[in-house]
Amino acid sequence: MTATPAANADERKEPKRAERFTYLGFELEPEANRVVCRYRLDELEFSEVVGFPGGGDWSTPAVREAARILFLLTGVSYYKAGAAAAVDFGETALTATELAFLKDFYLDGLGEFAYRNGIDLRGVQFLAPELKRSTTAQYQPRRNSPLVPFGGGVDSIVSVEQIRPHTEDAALFVVARPGDEFDAIEGPAQVVGWPVVRAERSIDPTILRSRELGFLNGHVPVTGIISAITVLAAVLEGRDAVVLSNEWSASSATLYDKGRPVNHQYSKSEAFEAGFRQVLAEALGEELQYFSLLRALSEVWIAARFAEQMQYFDTFRSCNKAFLIDTTKRFDHWCGVCDKCAFIDLVLAPFVAKADLERIFAKSGREPLQNPQLLETFRRLLGFVPDAKPWECVGDVSESRVAARLAAARPDRAGDEILQTLVKAAAGYPDPSPEELLKPMSRHFVPERYQPEILRKAND
């Protein structure tokens, strides 16, 4: 069963749902450098395998704790198939902190999925034995050895360059299917020049037959799953930090449903980050730090910093078509027409010369800001259409409006009809000033040893 467009959400009858989703267990297989996670949805069983080809020390209590957390978060991919009325953790005991976090992870992390399928998940029962933890695994990593999940886009590149001065023992982290590599990641990774730690995620093939088998389908909080995989990779390598690249606006709701926020980027939000940090501290101790380097910073600030890194202009990409599972349909260039292409072009336009952006998008035919057919796409990005912000990882509507104003003021953009049209429509909106967006916007969890200069200055 496929997701129905959001516009019809109030008109649909709730689809048939499964009765029980059960966590069966997980096994460490050190000889194969992998973890196997097993689940059951009513009578149908699934298994997922996450491998770490670089190996590591599998013998420590911290590795088992990290694998258990991975097992808990990965389950959401299989629960989604039937949106069961009950989640049964079986023999896997949970602390009160873990149970509260997982309830939020399911309800808010699947908020978009539930909204677009016309499902109310608020009544789901969570069944788990109570774990009264007497001690943590007391993980002891080596100092200043961060692991940075890397997607080859603007945000992760900025994180790399901001953290580079603070360590000589950093590595990038990449997750893909076994044997698969994405040019949009590998190209920028070569420019970074750091070692790459890899994980191979093998999703149960049954879940990939969702249309054929009548499963419910839709968005899952995949960044949360990748975060858990990265934590296990970091523990296997003895690293002291997992450094995400989620910005301030990732916490903004995509829309509100009956007053309740629904956020496509929930597992990139501050709420997820804060909750996951509590889970990790309780299980592993305080020595492993999980944080987003960009949490307090706007997309406008990030774009300004990226514009200084011209060495990446020929290789970076944030277009989703560069990451399609079907390699025959995967793009080797920006598509130039999707919401993410439009947003990246818009947010970089104040800081990157028009000629450079035209060159970056040349293979797509034309730069998005020069394509009249994308005017409505930009109108949605700027919030001119109520409850129509794209279900994508794009900035807050206020950031988009500020970026449009800044870009339109550039001499090389004076004749851009789309930008001038957008700026006229944005008149009167009470947006932050550019100066406000170039300062820290919120709290963050970045430890002092990894703080970029802008956060250090804010502390003075």
Q: What three-state secondary structure class fits 301?
A: helix
Token output for 303? 């774009």
Q: What is the pLDDT of residues 95-151, one digit of tens each?
A: 999 999 999 999 999 999 999 999 999 999 999 998 887 778 889 999 999 999 999
What is the CA 449 to chain-centroid distance, rounded? Answer: 24
How does strand 289-292 pair with strand 146-149? unpaired
Q: Tell me the C-alpha distance between 422 and 415, whole Å.
A: 13
pLDDT at 211 (0 to 100):
82
pLDDT at 142 (0 to 100):
94
Report, as ranges of residue numbers, the positions in the chain whose pLDDT lies below 70.
1-13, 460
b/e sequence 318-357, b meaning 16+ C-beta within 10 Å: bbbbbbeeeeeeebebbbbbbbbbbbbbbbbbbbbebeeb
**β-bridge partners, 86:** 20, 125
CB count in 10 Å sphere of residue 392: 17
DSSP summary character for residue 404 = H
pLDDT at 12 (0 to 100):
56
Nearest to 198 by CA among 220, 219, 212, 179: 179
Token output for 248? 């301030």
pLDDT at 386 (0 to 100):
79
Contact 241, 147 (CB under 8 A): yes
pLDDT at 174 (0 to 100):
97
Phi, psi of 221 (to 5 degrees): -75, 70
Map 7-67 to HEC letters: HHCCCCCCCCCCCEEEEEEEEEEHHHCEEEEEEEECCEEEEEEEECCCCCCCCCHHHHHHH
Quote the pTM value. Answer: 0.93
The Cβ-side half-sphere exposure at 427, using a 13 Å CA radius, reads 5
E strands in 151-233: 171-176, 196-202
pLDDT at 133 (0 to 100):
77
Contact 114, 83 (CB under 8 A): yes
pLDDT at 255 (0 to 100):
84
pLDDT at 460 (0 to 100):
67
CB-count burial class (<10 Å; 0-12, 13-18, 19+) for 388: middle
pLDDT at 203 (0 to 100):
94
Which contacts of 431-434 are long-range, i.e. CB under 8 A and separated by 24 or more positions? 431/398, 431/401, 431/402, 432/398, 432/402, 433/402, 434/300, 434/402, 434/405, 434/406
Q: What is the pLDDT of residues 38-94, one digit of tens each?
A: 999 999 999 999 999 999 999 999 999 999 999 999 999 999 999 999 999 999 999
- Helices of type H across 368-416: 375-381, 397-408
